[in-house]
Chain A
Amino acid sequence: MKYLNRFLSVPTSDPDEARRGRLLNILVLSNIGGALAGLLLIFIDSIWGLQFNDPETRVLLVGALVASLGLLGIYRMNRRASTRLAALLYLLFLTILFIFTDNPEELSNGRSLFIFVLPITISSLILLPQASFLFATLSGGIVAWLATSIGQPVNVFAIIGFFMLALVSWLSASSLESALKDLRVINADLDVVVTQRTDALAESLNRERIEAGRNQAILNSIVDGVIVFDTKWNATLANPAIRGMLELPLEMIVNKNFRNLIEHPKLSDHSRKLLLAMIEHDTQPFNFRIEWGEKTLSVSAAQVYDLRKEGNVNIGTVTVFRDFTHEAEVERLKSTFVAIVSHELRTPLNAVLGYAEMFREAVYGPMNDKQVNMADRIIKNTGRLLELINDLLDQAQMESGKLTINLSPVKPSELLETVHGLMDKTASDKSLKLNSEIDENLPEILIGDGERLQQVLVNLVSNAIKYTANGEVSIRMFRSDYAKWGIEVSDTGRGIPHAEIPHIFETFRQVEGAATRTKGGFGLGLAIVKQLVNLMNGDIQVTSKLEKGTTFTIILPLVIP
Chain B
Amino acid sequence: MSQIALIIEDDEDLANIFAEALRGVGFEVEHATDGKAAQEKIRNEVTPYLVLLDMHLPHISGAELLDEMKADERFAGTTIIITTADARMGETYGDKADFVLIKPISFVQLRDLTARLKPNP
Contact = CB atoms under 8 A, between A and B. Distances in A.
A361 B107 contact: yes
Contacts of A348: 13
Q: What secondary structure prevails in chain A residues at the interface with B?
A: helix
B14 interface: yes
Interface stretch (B32-40, B42-50, B98-106): B98-106
Contacts of A353: 104, 106-107
A346 B103 contact: yes
B20 A349 contact: no
Contact of A343 (B13, B86, B108, B111): B86
Interface size class on chain A is 10 to 19
Contacts of A363: 20, 24
A382 B106 CA distance: 11
A347 B108 contact: no
Contact of A347 (B85, B107, B111): B85
B56 interface: yes
Interface string A345-380: 011111101110110010100000000000000000
B86 A339 contact: yes
Contact of B17 (A339, A342, A346, A351): A351
B27 to A, nearest CB: 15
Contacts of A342: 85-86
Interface string A383-415: 000100000000000000000000000000000
A350 B108 contact: no
Contacts of A339: 86
B15 to A, nearest CB: 10
B17 to A, nearest CB: 3
A347 B17 CA distance: 12
Contact of B13 (A355, A357, A361, A386): A355
Nearest to B102: A346
Contact of B104 (A358, A361, A382): A382
Given A351-B13, A351-B17, A363-B24, A357 B86 contact: no
A376 to B, nearest CB: 12
B104 A355 contact: no
Contacts of A347: 11, 14, 85, 103
Interface in B75-111: 85-86, 103-108, 111
A335 to B, nearest CB: 10
A361 B108 contact: yes
A332 B75 CA distance: 37
Contacts of B103: 346-347, 350
B85 A354 contact: no
B11 A351 contact: yes
A27 B111 CA distance: 134
A353 B105 CA distance: 8
Interface centre among B86, B103, B104, B107 (most CB of A within 10 A): B104
A357 B107 contact: yes
B86 A358 contact: no
A6 B70 CA distance: 111
B11 A358 contact: no
A41 to B, nearest CB: 123
Contact of A358 (B14, B85, B105, B107): B107
A387 to B, nearest CB: 11
A343 B104 CA distance: 10
Given A343-B85, A343-B86, A363-B20, A351 B14 contact: yes
Contacts of B104: 346, 349-350, 353-354, 382, 386
B17 A358 contact: yes
Contacts of B106: 353-354, 357
Contacts of A355: 13, 17
B86 A354 contact: no
A363 B86 CA distance: 29
B14 A354 contact: yes
Point out which of B18, B106, B107 has the most chain A C-beta atoms below 10 A from its C-beta. Answer: B107
Contacts of B85: 342-343, 346-347, 350
B24 A354 contact: no
A239 B59 CA distance: 50
Interface string B6-21: 0000010110011010
Contacts of B14: 347, 350-351, 354
Contacts of B105: 350, 354
Contacts of A350: 11, 14, 17, 85, 103-105
A332 B91 CA distance: 20
Contacts of A382: 104
Contacts of B24: 363
B56 A343 contact: yes
B111 to A, nearest CB: 8
A346 B24 CA distance: 24
B114 to A, nearest CB: 14
Given A343-B56, A363-B20, A357 B108 contact: yes
Nearest to A348: B13
A354 B17 contact: yes
A353 B13 CA distance: 11
Contacts of A357: 106-108
Contacts of A386: 104
What 10 pairs across the A-B complex have the smallest Cβ distances? A354-B17, A351-B13, A350-B104, A357-B107, A346-B85, A343-B85, A354-B107, A350-B103, A346-B103, A353-B104
13 contacts: A342-B85, A346-B104, A350-B103, A350-B105, A351-B13, A351-B17, A353-B106, A353-B107, A354-B18, A355-B13, A357-B107, A357-B108, A363-B24
Interface of A: 339, 342-343, 346-351, 353-355, 357-358, 361, 363, 382, 386
Interface of B: 11, 13-14, 17-18, 20, 24, 56, 85-86, 103-108, 111
